């Protein structure tokens, strides 16, 4: 993106944002007077497997395929960080919104980019779409916090609200970092700590750990510059703070690292990230 610099504060928009890589991320959920939603989770494909058999069909003993997807009928909210129109709308995205723990944060940020200019918002949107497709193929209902990569926002608090109102079984925010530290590379997964509600406790921690474990077994290295063993306990991320559902945020890697940038810039590489994230979500839902 145009405003992205290489040096110290690559992500500052109008001079007011404190982003360093992509710190501001996920969602939030204050009190828009929306009465509806929090209860009913629609379940488009509640039946276990693709078998079109009606109500009670004992699984055909012939089935050579895998067991029924335990996760079918679950709801997953995918939250691709940032948005393509943010950079052109500084006033809108700098507007402070509730961030949890009594704090406020800018509505949203531009995100980071590779040194060659491939933006984080494009990466996160593409990966989220790939993750969503994989999950939908398993009968999981997928809700996205944004539908395209050309809009503005939504604000971090609104993103959290989307997860809450969908009564999501898991909320995963997808980002990429922009650390300038020499040699900084690897993924990390953030979760809310200390937790502000039950969902932010054991369920969110387990979601984060499952993402971490699956990223590792999929061949990705844990970050060598932030967090511990690929996990990062955070109290400053609006989306995580404001979530009332199990939630975690994946920083897939460091866009300023040449090797990781190359992977993120290629469609094959993005599919690798997406496959790992989708597998992690499925494993979490099934456990
Ligand atoms: Zn980000």
How far is Cα 98 from Cα 84, in angstroms, rounded to an integer? 22
Two tokens, residue 207: 């979601």
Band of pLDDT at residue 30, cut at 50, 70 and 90: very low
Two tokens, residue 88: 């052109």
3-state DSSP assignment of residue 192: strand
Two tokens, residue 11: 């992500």
Give a three-class secondary structure readout of 81-103: CCCCCHHHCHHHHHCEEEEECCE
pLDDT digits 0-9 by tens, 238-271: 999 999 999 999 999 999 999 999 999 999 999 9
> 287 C-alpha to center of ligand 1: Å?
28
φ and ψ at 273, to 5 degrees? -60, -45
Helix (H) / strand (E) element for 204: namely helix 202-217
pLDDT mean across residues, the chain: 84
pLDDT at 202 over 80: yes
> 107 C-alpha to center of ligand 1: Å?
13
pLDDT digits 0-9 by tens, 131-176: 999 999 999 999 999 999 999 999 999 999 999 999 999 999 999 9
Residue 251 catalytic? yes
| Between 32 and 74, the higher pLDDT residue | 74
Q: Which domains does the chain have, with CATH numbers?
A: 75-286 (3.40.630.40)
Ligand 1 (ion): residues with CB under 5 Å are 22, 81, 111, 175
Judging by DSSP bridges, how do beta strands 75-80 and 103-106 pair with one another?
Answer: unpaired
pLDDT digits 0-9 by tens, 61-113: 455 666 656 678 899 999 999 999 999 999 999 999 999 999 999 999 999 99
3-state DSSP assignment of residue 71: coil
pTM above 0.85, yes or no: no
> 7 C-alpha to center of ligand 1: Å?
17
> 50 C-alpha to center of ligand 1: Å?
36
Output the pLDDT for position 39: 37
> 101 C-alpha to center of ligand 1: Å?
20
> 117 C-alpha to center of ligand 1: Å?
15
Judging by DSSP bridges, how do beta strands 170-177 and 103-106 pair with one another?
Answer: unpaired
Q: Which of 120, 165, 251, 282 is catalytic?
A: 251
């Amino acid at each position: 993106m145009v405003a992205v610099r290489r040096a110290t504060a690559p992500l500052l928009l109008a001079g007011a944002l404190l982003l360093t890589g992509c710190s501001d991320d996920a969602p939030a959920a204050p009190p828009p007077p929306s009465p509806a939603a929090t209860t009913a989770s629609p379940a488009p494909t509640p039946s276990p497997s693709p078998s079109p058999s009606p109500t009670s069909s004992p699984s055909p003993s012939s089935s050579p395929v895998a067991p029924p997807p335990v996760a079918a009928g679950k709801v997953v909210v995918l939250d691709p960080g940032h948005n393509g129109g943010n950079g052109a709308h500084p006033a809108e995205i700098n507007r402070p919104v509730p961030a949890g723990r009594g704090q406020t944060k800018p509505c949203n940020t531009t995100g980071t980019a590779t040194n060659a200019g491939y933006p984080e918002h494009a990466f996160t949107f593409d990966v989220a779409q790939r993750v969503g497709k994989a999950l939908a193929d398993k009968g999981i209902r997928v809700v996205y916090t944004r539908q395209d990569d050309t809009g503005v926002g939504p604000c971090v608090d609104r993103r959290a609200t989307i997860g809450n109102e969908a009564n999501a079984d898991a909320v995963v925010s997808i980002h990429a970092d922009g650390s300038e530290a020499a040699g900084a590379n690897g993924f990390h997964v953030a979760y809310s700590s200390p937790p502000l509600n039950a969902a932010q406790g054991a369920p969110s921690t387990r979601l984060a750990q499952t993402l971490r474990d699956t990223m590792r077994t999929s061949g990705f290295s844990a970050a060598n510059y932030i967090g511990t063993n690929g996990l990062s306990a955070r109290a400053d991320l609006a989306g995580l703070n404001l979530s009332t559902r199990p939630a975690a945020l994946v920083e897939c890697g460091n866009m300023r690292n040449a090797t990781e940038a190359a992977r993120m810039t290629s469609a094959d590489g993005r599919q690798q990230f997406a496959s790992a994230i989708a597998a992690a979500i499925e494993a979490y839902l099934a456990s």
